[in-house]
Structure 1
C-alpha cells in the first residue's frame, strides 16, 4: 500500500505558507527566507527523492505549473517535472504540465490511489487538501519544518474542528537556523 506524506513549512502559531510567502494577506509573508540553510535544502531534496509521485491541491498546482515546467536541475526541477502528479480539483478541466492526473473525490480517489502500485506520494503544502486528507484519515506521515516564528495570522493547517488525531514521533532534527524537522507517523 502506498503512503501519503504531507510536508509543510509551519510557524509556531500553526501558519503554513510556501517559500514565496505570497499566499495570504498578512504583513509577514516570506518569513521562511531568514531560516534558509543548506542542510534544510538537502532535507527537501532527499524528501522529494524518496517518493514516486506528488499529490497537489489546485492552488498549489497552479503555482507549481506556472514555475517548474521551465526549470531544470537534478535537485528539484527534474524530479518534479518527471514524477506523476495527481491534482485534486473540482474545477480543473485539463492540465498543461506533463504527467498530471486530475482527481475529483478526496476520500474515494485518494483511497484508491493509495491501493495502487507504486511508492510513497508526497503532498507539498496544499493546506486545504491536507486538511481534507487528515479529516479522512488518509495521511500516513506528517513532515513539519517548524520555524521559530509566530506571524499572528494566515492559513492554518490545524483548524478547531475538534477531531482527535494521534501521531507518533518518527524523528526530529534541529538545524543551526533554529528550524526543526518533525516527522510523525499516523498513530492508532
Structure 2
C-alpha cells in the first residue's frame, strides 16, 4: 500500500505561511526559508521527491505550486510539472497543470489512491485538507521542516484544523548544517 507523506516548512514560532488575505508577506515560506536552502535541504527534498510518484494537494497549495512551477525549466521543475496531481477542493470546477480534481468523498477517494500500485503520494503544505486526512488516519508520515527563524506573524501549523488530539511518534530527526531540523512523525 502506498503511503501519504506530508511535508511542511515550519518556523520556530509555528508559522507555516502568510494569512489570506495577506497581512504579512514576510510569513511566506519562500521569504523566511530561502536563506537556509542549501545542499542538505536540496538532498533531503530530492529524497522525498524520489520516493513519490503522485502529489496530493489542497486548492491553496495547488494554485501556489502551479503559479510557481508551471513556467520553470530544469530537473526539479520537470519533476513538479510532470508529476500527476490530485487536488481536493470545494470550489474548483476544473484543473490544469497535470491534475485531477478529487470528486466525491475526499477520504474515500484518497483511501482508494493509497490502494493503487505505485510509489508514495506526497502532500505539501498543511491546511484544510489535513482535517479530513488526519481524522481518517490517512497520513502515514509527517515531515516537519523546522527552520531556525522566528517570523512573528502568519498562519500557524494546523491553525483552524479542528480535529481531535492526535498523538504521533517521533520516528526520525534529520539535522542540517543550516540549522534546519526535519522531524518525521508517524501515527501511534
Q: Tell me the distance in 2 between the aligned counterparts of 1:113 and 1:50.
A: 16
CA contact (8 A) 1:7 1:142 kept: yes
SS of residue paired to 2:146: strand
- Cα 1:39–1:22 change in 2 (3 A) is farther
Contact 1:53 1:122 in 2 (8 A): yes
Which residue in the other structure is 1:101 paired with? Answer: 100
Query: Structure 1: where are the runs of 5+ without partners?
Result: none
Question: Structure 1 residues 101 and 27 mapped into 2: Cα distance closer, same or farther (>3 Å)?
Answer: closer
Say whether 1:184 aligns with 2:182: no
CA distance in 2, matches of 1:12, 1:42: 22
SS of the residue corresponding to residue 70 of structure 1 reads: coil
Q: For 2:14 and 2:184, how far apart are their aligned partners in 1?
A: 16
Counterpart-to-counterpart distance in 2, 1:169 and 1:126? 18
**Offset from partner CA, 1:15-44 (integer Å, 9 cap, x none):** 113xxx686422633211232222112211
Q: Work out the number of aligned pairs and report it.
A: 182
Unmatched segments (≥5 aa) in structure 2: none
In 2 relative to 1, CA 177–131 (structure 1 residues): closer, same or farther, beyond 3 Å? farther
**Which residue of the partner structure matches residue 43 of structure 1?**
44
Residue of 22, 25, 33 corresponding to 2:23: 25
The structure 1 segments of at least 4 consecutive aligned residues displaced by more than 3 Å after TM superposition are 21-24, 159-162
1:146, distance to aligned residue in structure 2 (A): 0.3
What TM-score, normalized to structure 1?
0.86
Give yes or no for the alignment of 1:61 onto 2:62: yes
Contact 2:174 2:181 in 1 (8 A): yes
Counterparts of 1:117 and 1:34, CA distance in 2:
38
Deviation, 1:157, is: 2.2
TM-score, normalised via structure 2 length: 0.86
In the TM superposition, 1:80-159 aligns within 5 A as 80-98=80-98, 100-104=99-103, 105-159=105-159
1:168 corresponding residue in structure 2: 169
